[in-house]
Each structure stands twice: as structure tokens, then as C-alpha cells.
Amino acid sequence: MNAHTVLANLGARNYSAPRVIEMGAKDRWTPTLWASKKPFGIGEQRPNNYLEIGRALWENRGRLPYAWRILSKGVCDGCALGTSGLRDWTIDGTHLCNIRLRLLRLNTMPALEPSQLANVEALSQRSGAELRRLGRLPFPMIRRTGEPGFRRITWDEALDTIADQIRATQPTRTAYYLTSRGICNEGYYAAQKAVRAMGTNSIDNAARVCHSPSTVALKSALGVAATTCSYSDWMHADLIVFIGSNVANNQPVAMKYLYYAKKAGTRIAVVNPYREPGMERYWVPSNVESALFGTRIADRFFLVKIGSDIGFLNGVLKHLVERDQVDRDFIERHTTGYDEVTAELRTQTWDDLEEVSGCARDEMDALSKMIAESRKAIFVWSMGITQHDCGEDNVRAIVNLALTQGFVGREGCGLMPIRGHSGVQGGAEMGAYSTAFPGGLPINAQNARQLSQLWGFEVPATRGLTGPEMVDAAHAGKLDALFSVGGNFLDVLPEPEHVREALSRVPLRVHLDIVLSSQMLVDPKEAVLLLPAATRYETEGGVTETSTERRVIFSPEIPGPRIAEARPEWQVFTELAKRVRPELAKELELDGTAAIRAEIARAIPYYEGIQRLEKAGDQFQYGGPHLCSGWKFPTEDGKAHFSAVRLPRRHIPNHSFVMTTRRGKQFNSMVQEETDALTGASREAIFISASDAERLGIRAGQPVLVRNSRGQMRGRAFICEIKPGNLEAHWPESAALLDRGRRSPTAGIPDYNAVVQLEKVEDSH
Ligand code: SF4
């Protein structure tokens, strides 16, 4: 189909009219967008990014040249926005944020003093940040049951110990979990190949607990399982809708993109239970105008009840349908399931929708009008949408809205499940996933056969354990070996005490990481091994990561100091598999990261081109700027699929609240600061509305107790603009209130929300 045919097929709307962006408007100051007339937002609650630079300089003062080389040549190991050095492919100018600066020290710090691990009891009182600050893991260490701490062993001893245990048990009694802490595509690929050679598909990664529902819902609706557009589309959209997503906190440079989008005339709507201050206004430090006067970001906030997004989104859809403000031509030519959706919507009364969402139909109408007035729009969502027991349906409700207007497959339009970890997009696509093979292929006999032919050994054809299921199996005594790379189940999953018990029941636990974490200190049932990992910047031959916008980016090896015995993940897994299956030594041989990239290109056709990435700056965007371009959907029938989405029903007993978990100043579960400069809230803050606080006689800062049948959390009331009847608390501190049994039906993501009671506690001071 050529461009003319595509345009001819676009139907009644004039989609081909280009967005008029006045020349020079990008650089001209726009006082109407300023957040404050006070220079540098003096007196406003906001991060001081210049202080962050000073802090990074101080922390890395012993290794500044190396730190600079990492920043200027490496690909950021923070979120999944993606960089090459200090540049990106969306805007000119410097790309740097405080997340990256805070992570820098993990890459430059020297090794810890091993004698500090000789007594675990003394370490167990320390916080995660204190454990990380001890330094890099220097060499393999072991702690056997009854021993007070860890002692040094050789790599040979470590790998033989692990291989002996794996050989002595059934593959189904082993599990492997890789988080995305800086892990590269090559590491994920080699690990999953090795694990499958060892006879199991029980390998999972952090993509499970972030966007697995997005993958499921997008794949069935559009035939693709990734963001359909590029960040640069933000500057071409008439409207961007953020749903359960706080990019100000999690992808800070995205705020610079939004600054330029606002200058170009893009409107921004935010659907969230809390009026996130960072999404309301932001000071972009690297832009003079925004650094001085800030930028108003959101044009409109829609405060919804926690877990009620479907009620709100279906209400918006119902308005569009009832007014017939949908693109009928696109729907008829390129989609299926619209009639089922409208039939389902007819069964959902306005009273139902208002009750479920907590929003008046007028508010739903306001967003429906913003959508109807837009020729191009992008929907961006994060964990506020996915981490629910209805996560897949939440995503389907978003996709439905986009499909009513053909907001996919063309410039300025798209569906973007934005990622918060530099490795999650690639981790799942490389096949480090218990429910999919490399390339996202379903685990079945036919796909297993094809992989067996490629790799030269038999690949198991049944799905493995997801991350949360690994903990279930460990608790039930069904695991003999658990191998974790990075991450910390204790911090990440619901009910930490249950997780602790589960870990203590596994005879052999292995932790391959760069620094110490609390899960390593859980007493061994038989043995716990620590293995020192190399960072992406230390990996010979360089590595790649895949960003949210599907850009595969090469990060070169950065010359500098090394931790003598640290090894890259790919080497460790390959070597282990060879010891477990010596007869497969030839099939498992991987001669460096370039060879792995060549094999990835053979195993995953859409990664064609990765084998040619070899120096800083090399990259490509698989699928091009827009997936489903020309409205060609890679589904079986070639069409996009609407889904009838029912309203979720959750009984909230009287005098109870719905609580969700949130991030503060942290990178995933790594807490970096006691107070979040974006909100002003401390780690113990319980976000509560003014009306609820007044009703309960609670003052700002007053101690409160939040509890339910699972656990409790002591905190302090933080009165803010949150939907009444709802609370927010920082994660992982609030993880004890979550119910480990609540997971989404297909993806198995845990529900990071809970029904709780709140009571005030008298201040003892
Ligand atoms: S926004 Fe994300 S990719 Fe960019 S510098 Fe910050 S952490 Fe790194």
C-alpha cells in the first residue's frame, strides 16, 4: 500500500493536514505556559536538579573521569527512555536526569571489604541504601546453614556447587529470575538459552511485575506487544492522555519532551487518583525558560477512584459512541468487535459508571470532548493501570478509546506503555520470560521445536513459573534452587514476611549482582551463594538495550577501573549450563557479545540489524517509528480488535479506604531519599484527602495506622489532593498490606492495591 492509498483509506476526517508549528515557536518564550513568575520556582515544592549534579560530583569524586566517560559514552542504565551518552533521538540538547546521576555511583564504586560479610546478623539491621553503599561484590562467596556469614570461594567452586544441585534435582524444581537493573539484551538472551538448555522455562524478569498486562492486551488487540509510536510523536499530537503514569518521577527527561510538546500546542490530560504535582508543573533544568519559570504541564486532571479506570474510560467511550464522534470508516474497514463494545456499554448505566469511577458524567464528557477535538492523540500508561487484578482489562479499555478514532499507526498517534527500567522491554523480548519464547512467541510444541532446531538441543514446551509463582513454589517446598540476578523479591513482592519464609525454604539460593541486598541475608536452608556481576559498562564487546520506543541501542565498553572477579551475566549462565549439560558444550558456546547479537538476529527476526551494532551511537528502531503503520495490523485477520470490557466490582466495606502504592524519590525498589522533592512527602506519608482527614479529625503530619487482615503500616497523614475515599503510601514500605493472592488473570501481575482501614494514633512526642 503506498502513501496515497493509505491517505485515501483514512476516511472522512482530514488526517493528512499537517500540524502547523510556527517556525521559531519552539524557541520563543511562552509566558502563558509558565508555572510561576518567581525565578527558579523559589519557595515552590520541587526538586533541585543542580544540587543533584553537585551531589553526583561529590559521590564520584574519586573516579570522576570514569564517571564522565560512562555518562558521555554509555547508554543510561536508569529508565527505558533511552540515551546514547548524553543525547537522544527526540530532541536536541543534553539528556540527563537525577535518576541517572543517583545510579552513577553504583557503576563507579570500588569493591566492598569482604570481612564485612562475615557476620550477617550485624548487616541485617541496615537499610537497602546502606547495604548498597558498602561497595561492589568483589568475588564469589558462600554461606552454608549454621554459618554466621559469607566466606570467599573460587568461581569454579561456586559454579560446581550450583551445577551439582541443579543436576541432582528436577528442572521443574529450579527457577531463575532476572530483574532489569541495567541488564542488557545479550545477558537476557544468553541466560534464557542456558536455562532452557537446563530443561526449564522457569525464567522470568521484572517485565512481569510492570507491563505484562500491556503485552497481553496489546498483542490480542493489535498484534503487537510494544509501544506503537515514538517519543517524537508527542510533539505532533494534539492530545496526550497520561493514565496511571507519573513520568515526572519515573522518566524525568520525558518532561523536557512535554515542554516542547506544550510549545507545539499539544494538550495534556492526566487520569489519576492523585493530582501529581510533577505532572501539574515542572521546572526542566536544561531549558532556560522552564528552569526559570517552570512549565504548566497538565491542561486537565481527572481524579478517579483507585482501580476504577475502566469505569471512567468506558464513560468517556460511551459519550463518544452516543454522540457518534467516532471514526466509522476506520472502525468498519480496520477493526472488529465494535458492536460488542457498544452493546456492553448499553448495559452500563451512567449511574454505574459514576459509582465505579467516582467521577461525574460531565468529567467523562470533558475528556471525550478533548479526544473528539483531536486529530491525533497518544495514550501513555504505567503501573497505575497494569498493577491491578484487572490489569489486562484496564489496558483493553484504553485501546478501545484509541481505536474509536484510529489513533494508531500514524504520526502523532499511539499507544505507549511507558517503561521504567532500562532492561524490561528487551528482557521480555529476548525470552527471559516464563510464558514466552524469544520474540514473544507463545510457548508451545511447534515453537519449542523451531527453537530446538536453531539451538541444537531440546527446548521444553510447557510454560514455566512466573516470578510470583516462584515464590509460591519456594514456600510450598517445591524449589531446590533459586537463581536471582539483581532485584530483591523481599522488596518487590507483596507480603514480605511470606517472601522471607519462602526464600528460607529453598536449599540453594544464588544471587548474581553488583551490590548487596537484603534478600541475600535471609538465612540459608542449605547454602546461599553470592556471585559478583559486571555492569553493562564493564562488559567486553559492548552490549545493547531496547528502549520503550523499541530503539535498540549499543552501549560500548567503557575503559576504567574493574572489579577483578566480576563477570557479565551471559558468561555466568553459559558456563553454568555447560557444567550442568557438558554434552551440550558446543551448542552453548557463545564467543562474546557480538556473537550473541548475531544469534539474536537469527532467533528474533524483528531484531534484524542488532548484529551490526558495534560502536557508540549505533542504534535502530525495530518496526520503524510507528507499528501498525498504514493500519496494517499483524493479527490473524489483519484487523485491530475492540474488546467489550466489563466494569470491575470490588466491595469496599464501610469506613474502609482503597489504598494504592506509589514511588517517591527512588529507582524502582531502591529508595534514594527520605523525602520526595516532587511532592514533599516523606517515606512514611499516607496520602489522604482533606475531606477524609477532616471527617476523621486527622491533622497534617499526625501519626496514623493503616491496617487490614494482611498487615499494617504506621505512617503520618499527608493531606493532599487525592480522590476522597482513597489513600496512597510509598512502596515497598506498604507491601505488607498487599494480598499476594490477588493477581491479574492472564499475565499474573500482582495487585499492588489494598482495601484498608485507617485510624489516628496519638503522637507520643
Ligand atoms: S530519563 Fe531515563 S533514560 Fe533519561 S537520563 Fe533519566 S533515567 Fe536515564
- Choose which residue among 49, 81, 422 to substitute to test ligand 1 binding: the one with the highest number of ligand atoms within 8 A of its C-beta: 81
Ligand 1 pocket residue status of 253, Cβ below 6 Å: yes
Q: pLDDT averaged over the chain?
A: 94
pLDDT in the model for residue 42: 86
* Selected residue with higher pLDDT from 15 and 540: 540
Phi-psi region of 24 (alpha: psi -120 to 50; beta: other; left: phi over 0): left
Atom number in ligand 1 closest to CA 82: 3
pTM assigned to the model: 0.95
* Selected residue with higher pLDDT from 38 and 740: 740
**Which amino acid does the sequence have at 2?**
N
The residue among 207, 169, 178, 112 whose CA lies nearest residue 511 is 178
> What is the 103 CA–ligand 1 centroid distance (Å)?
10
> What are the grid coordinates assigned to 381, written together?
500508561
Ligand 1 pocket residue status of 100, Cβ below 6 Å: yes
Ligand 1 pocket residue status of 251, Cβ below 6 Å: yes
Q: Does residue 390 register a pLDDT over 70?
A: yes
Question: Over the range 490-500, which residues count as b (16 or more CB within 10 Å of their CB) and which as e?
Answer: bbbbbbbebbb
Atom number in ligand 1 closest to CA 103: 7
Dihedral angle at the C-alpha atoms of 345, 351, 354, 360, nearest 10 degrees? 110
Q: Does residue 19 register a pLDDT over 50?
A: no
Q: Does residue 20 register a pLDDT over 90?
A: no
DSSP line for 549-590: T-EEEEE----S---TT-B-HHHHHHHHHHHH-GGGHHHH--
Atom number in ligand 1 closest to CA 253: 1
Atom number in ligand 1 closest to CA 422: 3
Burial class of residue 675 (count of CB atoms within 10 Å of its CB; 0-12, 13-18, 19+):
middle
The string of pLDDT tens digits covering residues 311-356 is: 999 999 999 999 999 999 999 999 999 999 999 999 999 999 999 9
3-state secondary structure of 213: helix
Dihedral angle at the C-alpha atoms of 471, 475, 481, 487, nearest 10 degrees? 30
328 to 322, 323, 331, 334, 345: CA distances (angstroms): 13, 12, 5, 10, 17
Rounded Cα–Cα distance for residues 47 and 12 (Å) = 46
- Choose which residue among 98, 100, 247, 257 to substitute to test ligand 1 binding: the one with the highest number of ligand atoms within 8 A of its C-beta: 100
Ligand 1 pocket residue status of 729, Cβ below 6 Å: no
> What is the 212 CA–ligand 1 centroid distance (Å)?
22
> What is the 365 CA–ligand 1 centroid distance (Å)?
35
> What is the 225 CA–ligand 1 centroid distance (Å)?
22
CB contact at 8 A, 208 and 749: yes
Ligand 1 pocket residue status of 76, Cβ below 6 Å: yes
Atom number in ligand 1 closest to CA 99: 7
The residue among 359, 402, 425, 366 whose CA lies nearest residue 604 is 425
> What is the 653 CA–ligand 1 centroid distance (Å)?
41
For ligand 1, atom 5, which residue shows the shortest CA distance?
Answer: 96
For ligand 1, atom 2, which residue shows the shortest CA distance?
Answer: 79
> What is the 98 CA–ligand 1 centroid distance (Å)?
8
What would the mean pLDDT of 724-746 be, rounded to a whole number? Answer: 96
Ligand 1 pocket residue status of 182, Cβ below 6 Å: no
Ligand 1 pocket residue status of 79, Cβ below 6 Å: yes
- Choose which residue among 72, 76, 107, 537 to substitute to test ligand 1 binding: the one with the highest number of ligand atoms within 8 A of its C-beta: 76
For ligand 1, atom 6, which residue shows the shortest CA distance?
Answer: 97
> What is the 306 CA–ligand 1 centroid distance (Å)?
28
602 to 81, 171, 454: CA distances (angstroms): 26, 27, 8
The DSSP call for residue 740 is: T
Least confident piece of the model among 100-104, 297-301, 390-394, 647-651: 647-651
> What is the 380 CA–ligand 1 centroid distance (Å)?
17
- Choose which residue among 86, 99, 547 to substitute to test ligand 1 binding: the one with the highest number of ligand atoms within 8 A of its C-beta: 99
Q: Give the confidence band of 38 by pLDDT, cuts at 50, 70, 90.
A: confident
CB-side exposure of 252: number of CA atoms within 13 Å? 27
Ligand 1 pocket residue status of 95, Cβ below 6 Å: yes
Q: Does residue 394 register a pLDDT over 90?
A: yes
Q: Give the confidence band of 24 by pLDDT, cuts at 50, 70, 90.
A: low
> What is the 513 CA–ligand 1 centroid distance (Å)?
22
Rounded Cα–Cα distance for residues 413 and 410 (Å) = 6
* Selected residue with higher pLDDT from 37 and 139: 139
> What is the 420 CA–ligand 1 centroid distance (Å)?
9
Dihedral angle at the C-alpha atoms of 445, 589, 422, 61, nearest 10 degrees? 160
- Choose which residue among 49, 75, 79 to substitute to test ligand 1 binding: the one with the highest number of ligand atoms within 8 A of its C-beta: 79
Atom number in ligand 1 closest to CA 81: 3
> What is the 254 CA–ligand 1 centroid distance (Å)?
8
3-state secondary structure of 464: coil
Ligand 1 pocket residue status of 247, Cβ below 6 Å: no
Q: Give the confidence band of 384 by pLDDT, cuts at 50, 70, 90.
A: very high
12 to 316, 328, 336, 378, 642: CA distances (angstroms): 22, 9, 19, 20, 21
Q: Does residue 437 register a pLDDT over 80?
A: yes
Ligand 1 pocket residue status of 81, Cβ below 6 Å: yes
> What are the grid coordinates assigned to 556, written together?
560500548
Which strand (E) or helix (H) includes residue 289?
helix 288-293
Ligand 1 pocket residue status of 83, Cβ below 6 Å: yes
Residues forming a β-bridge with 641 = 336
Rounded Cα–Cα distance for residues 302 and 366 (Å) = 9
What would the mean pLDDT of 397-415 be, rounded to a whole number? Answer: 98
> What is the 70 CA–ligand 1 centroid distance (Å)?
13
Q: Give the confidence band of 25 by pLDDT, cuts at 50, 70, 90.
A: low
Helices and strands in the chain, H and E counts: 29, 27
What would the mean pLDDT of 542-564 be, rounded to a whole number? Answer: 97
Rounded Cα–Cα distance for residues 661 and 388 (Å) = 11
Ligand 1 pocket residue status of 252, Cβ below 6 Å: yes
Ligand 1 pocket residue status of 418, Cβ below 6 Å: no
Q: Does residue 709 register a pLDDT over 50?
A: yes
The string of pLDDT tens digits covering residues 175-204 is: 999 986 789 999 999 999 999 999 999 999
Atom number in ligand 1 closest to CA 77: 8
Ligand 1 pocket residue status of 99, Cβ below 6 Å: yes
pLDDT in the model for residue 113: 95
> What are the grid coordinates assigned to 429, written together?
523480548
Residue 510: partners with Cβ closer than 8 Å, 6 or more residues away = 162, 481, 482, 483, 484, 528, 529, 531
Ligand 1 pocket residue status of 71, Cβ below 6 Å: no
